[in-house]
Amino acid sequence: MQRPVSVVILTWNGLAYTKACLDSIAANTDFDRYEVIVADNGSTDGTIEYLQQRSDVRTVLNGRNLGFAKGNNVAIEQSAPGTDVILLNNDTEIVQPDWIASLQQAAYNAPDIGVVGCRLARPDGTLQHVGTFMPLDTLWGQQIGGGEKDINQYDGDREVEGVVFACVYLKREVLDRLGLLSEEYFSYFEDTDFCFRAKEAGYRVMCRGSVKVVHHENVSTRINGVRHRDMFDRAQSVFDQKWASKLKAKRYSRDIGWHSILNFPTGYAISSREFTSALDRQNVHVAYKYAYGPGTPFPKDEPEQSDSYLANVIRARRLDSRRPQVVYAQGDVFQSNFGAYKIGFTMLETDRIPEEWVRQANRMDEVWAPSQFNLRTFRDSGVTRPIHVVPLGVDPNYFHPGIRSSRISSNFTFLSIFEWGERKAPEILLRAFNQEFHASEPVILVCKILNVDPGVNVQDEVRKLELDPAGGRIHISLNHVVPTYQLGALYRSADCFVLPTRGEGWGMPIINPWPAACPSSPPTGARSATS
């Protein structure tokens, strides 16, 4: 049974956006029991006159700019006592008819759910928001997914720390228990404040990724010539005084040091960013140090900034020798670990590891490896310390069947991802495909190739193969860095994955240990140079 809902919209000029918002609600809402209440904060561009002409809108005139929190509160107080409330910015557009019903369904999935946000997408097809989190180092709130191309990541229901109130569903019982938005804030941080108050009272905050609302973002400040930063800084100061010490006292339950790389586009850095951000979400305070060493293929200096705000925050922290430390890098830099408890975390696709790796691994308190194959490799190579399997895993928010693909064509697509080198067998793969198929057949091989060896020219190596122009068609993407969040879309764009190898136990693109599909003995020839 539907519960009645009051949709509250705050306006302060921006008539064109308000018209588009209200028209989209009228055209794309299949919910029966809702009303629209528009509170105007003293518009002078014809907004008031326009609102008074609409019979489907109840207008509340605040007379002047009361700010976001108080302006919305005036309208909420005008709603009927039994109704739930949706706060909706006037610079949003509704694009799916079931938006109210779906948000309401999410809100009543469990009694302890109190606040439900949604997927906010920009008009250019990028995401603005699928939830928020607040780094305590900076108190500069971050929007999950912000700036990423919308490929249907985060499509499910997820508990989050906060949501942006450009579109939010508030259950009436939560409003009755907590009160309205805090008017300590003129604009900004009032949504995070409300979410934290709700969580403090025992309610969960959810984001429903299947409900999409288009948000033009910061229209009021832009149209009215207001300095966004001034309002933001004032609100941040209020939030700091109210929440900082309280949050810092209970946010982190343990500490760990992390030696690795973060700000490179490939290699350990990709999974390192995922591990550190996941640890932070699990209330582990992660401090960081760049794990450069003579045996690593990385340059001595790491870029200070990346496109991940949380990674930049973590990178700015410094390690404490009194805490456990993890070195997540090649085994020959384990010696950089100076923690009170030392953990080495590494991997190698072959069935032996170098003697120096063994020596340094045996100086750790324990060793982590991503697979049972590696556990046996390390043990067989002479590692005597305790070894634990810690899978690299995948993030199901980015790797799931609903991720949108970007196919090259309607052809059946084979995909291969590998680093051109002697451990692989790219010439066998390319020749086999070229000989097996004909150019006229609806099939293609896509090879995403990385080559960091200055002594190897991949184009020359391919030319040496003298592939038949009439044979199977091959598309090569050389050293093209795909944004990490789009890797799922890359895999979804293929029909079959193939991997050239000369006998490795697994390959990084799939990290599938050989025992899952192979006989009970290691593949012949899978030996390192030190075996």
pLDDT in tens, 455-484: 899 999 999 999 999 999 999 999 998 888
Is residue 293 very low, low, confident or very high in pLDDT (cuts 50, 70, 90)?
A: low
What average pLDDT does this structure show over 11-19? 96
CA count, 13 A, side-chain hemisphere, 280: 25
Q: Of 23-37, 133-147, 294-308, 499-513, which gets the smallest average pLDDT?
A: 499-513
Tokens of 15: 């008539």
pLDDT, tens only, 404-456: 998 877 899 999 998 888 888 899 999 999 999 999 999 999 999 988 788 89
> Does 412-510 match 254-389 at the fold level?
yes
Whether the per-residue pLDDT at 231 is higher than 90: the answer is no
Burial grade of 489 (CB within 10 A; 0-12, 13-18, 19 or more)? buried
Per-residue model confidence (pLDDT) at position 419: 87
Per-residue model confidence (pLDDT) at position 218: 72
Tokens of 433: 């495909």
Q: How far is the C-alpha of 228 from the C-alpha of 233, rounded, in Å?
A: 9
What average pLDDT does this structure show over 125-149? 95
Q: Quick one: which of 89, 105, 100, 115 has its CA closest to 21? A: 89
Per-residue model confidence (pLDDT) at position 529: 27
Q: Quick one: which of 273, 195, 259, 256 has its CA closest to 487? A: 273
Asked if residue 413 lies in contact with residue 496, where contact means CB atoms within 8 angstroms, the answer is yes
What average pLDDT does this structure show over 83-111? 98
Whether the per-residue pLDDT at 30 is higher than 90: the answer is yes
Tokens of 84: 């739930």
Per-residue model confidence (pLDDT) at position 511: 60
Q: Into which CATH architecture does domain 5-246 fall?
A: Alpha-Beta Complex (3.90)
Is residue 527 very low, low, confident or very high in pLDDT (cuts 50, 70, 90)?
A: very low
Q: How far is the C-alpha of 344 from the C-alpha of 364, rounded, in Å?
A: 6
Q: What angle do CA 250, 256, 260 make, to 5 degrees?
A: 135
Question: Hey, what CATH topology would domain 254-389 get?
Answer: Rossmann fold (3.40.50)
Is residue 224 very low, low, confident or very high in pLDDT (cuts 50, 70, 90)?
A: confident
Whether the per-residue pLDDT at 519 is higher than 50: the answer is no
Q: How far is the C-alpha of 506 from the C-alpha of 230, rounded, in Å?
A: 53
What is the domain partition of the chain in residue ranges? 5-246, 254-389, 412-510
Per-residue model confidence (pLDDT) at position 296: 64
Q: What is the CATH number of domain 412-510?
A: 3.40.50.2000
Long-range Cβ pairs for the range 335-340 (8 Å, 24+): 335/293, 335/360, 335/363, 336/259, 336/289, 336/291, 336/293, 337/259, 337/364, 339/257
Share of the chain above pLDDT 70, in %: 93
